[in-house]
A and B are shown apart, each in its own frame.
Chain A
Amino acid sequence: MMRAFSLTARLALLFAALTAGVLVLAALLFGRMLDAHFEELDLHELHGKLALVRNAVQQGVPGTGAAEPIRVLENAFVGHDNVGVLVRDVDGRVLRIIHEEHFTPEQRAGAPLAAGRGDWSVEGRPHRGLEVRLALPPRAGGGAPTDAAGVDVLVALDLSHHTHFLASVRKATWAGVALAALVAALLGWFAAHRGLAPLRRVTETARGLSAQQLGQRLGERDAPLEVRDHVEAFNGMLARLEFAFQRLADYSADIAHELRTPISNLMTQTQVALSRPRSAEEYQDILASNLEEYERIARMVSDMLFLAKAEDNRLAHGGEAVDLAREADALIEFYQALADEHEIRIVREGRAVVSGDRLMLRRALSNLISNALRHTPDGGEIGIGIAADAAAVRLVVRNLGDPIPPEQLERIFDRFHRGSSRRDRHGEGAGLGLAITRSIVRAHGGEIAARSSGGATRFEISLPRREAAPDHRP
């Protein structure tokens, strides 16, 4: 569910929640402090009233008992409607209540306040009170001990006016919190929207791209730090795509070019042949020559199909054990006649077994050898070295020959690449041989590299070492 929200909405909600959380905490703390403050204020006021009562009682005329102070009290509390005073004698009889609406029925009946202070409510109005015992002034001429003991005075304060105030403060606080959360959400949305603008620019650019505009790049400099990685990755992808597209375009052009040559040969030859009557031998000759062109085209097409399959990762190999030395020897035997013609020696040393497809590996190696044969001067030597270490099996085909310039080395495995051949032998392929070799090596999880130095050229294949599986050979 969360997945469906936009990043902006999520950030806005998060801002709102955080703001609300912090403000609620602050409001709770503030409420507490306000409560404590008002409690202190109440006590202060109660003590003040009590002082008033004490004063009244003690100023009473001696010998008049409790009646006189009470009269004084009534005078003192006229107008103080939010304060109630209840006077009991020491036996708990209620002597007088001023503003009795501030007391509970039990209190009016004489119930004392536990612990001398307390809170209660009457008809929904909160009250707070203090209770003390006050001594009466001594009677003139001595008197009954009952009167001399004094009175209990309970002072009550009606708190409803400031509970009203507190309630309105609370209401205002919560409203403020809610408003702040809303504002935070809006600001969060705005900030996220602004902050994500670079991402939207990436999206816009990506949306606007087509194969023709792969040269476009996103500005890396004005991208914020967090997005810069994305922008760089995106630009890297664009660069790779552009390169691949360029190669594809080159490839198509190459195919067209390679096909045009034999086809135009065929057309010219046939047109010339048909321009006047000829002998049967001449026709045969022309047809045979045409056949050679057709074969060239057919071979090129099947090589391209092979490469297309390789590109598509459809060159699965069975994983049989392939003895590279044996394959190399068979190929040396195959190319022996050709090598003898040019007095080229082909030698092989070392041996190793890899896992793969025998026919494909043989083809890969065959292409390397025929390539070497093409570039080795007469009387030269071609060396095939096979070696294995813990990680990989290495196969090197090296020959003496003209150095290959570095920029050509880079492209040597590209399709239709043709180096300047020492001798243009009959039936030379369309320059797909090394590309095929590389695709076969890669299908086997290996790599191939070409080096040229000191008048020698080296092709080095490295293949992953065969895992120690039981040998399937008979």
Chain B
Amino acid sequence: MRGSAAMKILIVEDEVKTGDYLRQGLREAGFVVDLARDGVDGLHLALDGDYHLIVLDVTLPSLDGWGVLQTLRHSGRETPVLFLTARDQVEDRVRGLELGADDYLVKPFAFSEFLARVRTLLRRGRSQEPEVLRSSNLELDLLRRRVIRSGQRIDLTAKEFALLELLLRRQGEVLPRSLIASQVWDMNFDSDTNVIEVAVRRLRAKVDEPFEPKLIRTVRGMGYVLEALPPARG
């Protein structure tokens, strides 16, 4: 996995099944993962270990997520924190963000969504923005706002361009539909239609179908991924 080989993540989660599957999922995505089952253990690990990200459940035995977060921030640790809450309450969100959390997810969530958020947080602060995004023979020029594949110029609408940019920036990652809707169209809720599917299909028809190799792939039940391939020569 790209650039995540040495990334260390701490999960603090008391729900056994959730903790286990989050750890397994993140490990399989190439991260080094520790799991704490309660707040006190979690805080110890967070203060001792050198983590790149902490995934924190709000409701924990012995010391709740707020307490862990507060103590962590008081001790001067700026480790990014993604907190998980079962209650979709505005106060919860505001409280978490005020205490210094970086992002939150409401249970139940899709693992692909979770993984995408984790990667976003890990990517934060290490941006050397490239001007041209590439995969295989596909090239997207951010400055000139144009897309070239195998030397051929492809005309895209503004939203198609934004969608392709997102896929290219996060090539190799499976992007869930909800993330695409929120990043490209700023729609932060589930639409009860297949609009994302249609948009991807139309993009694919322009960018992928007439060419080889096929780059945009549907991962059933998860979302879409643009294959990360080494740039073609010439």
Contact = CB atoms under 8 A, between A and B. Distances in A.
A366 interface: yes
Contacts of B62: none
B222 A366 contact: no
A328 to B, nearest CB: 13
Contacts of A295: 110, 221
Interface stretch (B30-38, B119-127, B185-193): B185-193
A97 B186 CA distance: 129
Nearest to A430: B192
Given A298-B108, A333-B159, A334-B185, A427 B192 contact: yes
Interface stretch (A7-15, A143-151, A336-344, A407-415): A336-344
Given A287-B221, A291-B221, A298-B108, A336 B159 contact: yes
B197 interface: yes
A359 interface: yes
Interface in A284-335: 284-285, 287-292, 295, 298-299, 302, 305, 316, 330-331, 333-335
Contacts of A284: 220
Given A291-B222, A336-B159, A359-B188, A305 B202 contact: no
B229 interface: no
B221 A288 contact: yes
A428 B192 contact: yes
Interface of A: 284-285, 287-292, 295, 298-299, 302, 305, 316, 330-331, 333-338, 340-341, 359, 362-363, 366-367, 370, 373-374, 425-429, 433
Given A285-B220, A370-B192, A341 B198 contact: yes
A79 B191 CA distance: 124
Given A285-B220, A292-B221, A330-B185, A337 B202 contact: yes
Contacts of A373: 193
Interface in B173-191: 181, 185-191
A426 B221 CA distance: 13
Interface of A is mostly: helix
Contacts of B195: 334-335, 337-338, 370
A120 B189 CA distance: 108
Contact of A427 (B108, B185, B194): B194
Interface of B: 88, 90, 108, 110, 159, 181, 185-195, 197-199, 202, 220-222
Nearest to B109: A298
Nearest to B195: A338
B189 A333 contact: no
Contacts of B186: 330
A427 B199 contact: no
Listed from nearest, the 9 A-B pairs whose CB atoms lie closest are: A429-B192, A291-B221, A288-B220, A288-B221, A337-B199, A334-B185, A426-B194, A338-B195, A337-B198
Contacts of A299: 190, 192
Contacts of A289: 220-221
Contacts of A302: 88
Contact of A359 (B181, B189, B193): B189
A359 B222 CA distance: 25
Given A291-B220, A338-B194, A433-B192, 5 more contacts: A331-B187, A334-B191, A336-B159, A427-B192, A428-B193
Contacts of B194: 338, 425-427
A289 B222 CA distance: 11
Contacts of B193: 335, 338, 370, 373-374, 425, 427-428
Nearest to B186: A330
B185 A333 contact: yes
A433 B199 CA distance: 22
A331 B159 CA distance: 12
Given A305-B88, A433-B192, A366 B221 contact: no
Nearest to B189: A363
Contacts of A335: 193, 195
Contacts of B191: 334, 366, 370
A289 B189 CA distance: 22
A285 B220 CA distance: 8
Q: In this complex, which of A338, A362, A367 has the most chain B Cβ atoms within 10 angstroms of its Cβ? A: A338
Nearest to A318: B90
Contacts of B187: 330-331, 334, 362, 366
Contacts of B190: 299
Contact of A367 (B192, B202, B221, B222): B192
Contact of B198 (A288, A338, A363, A367): A338
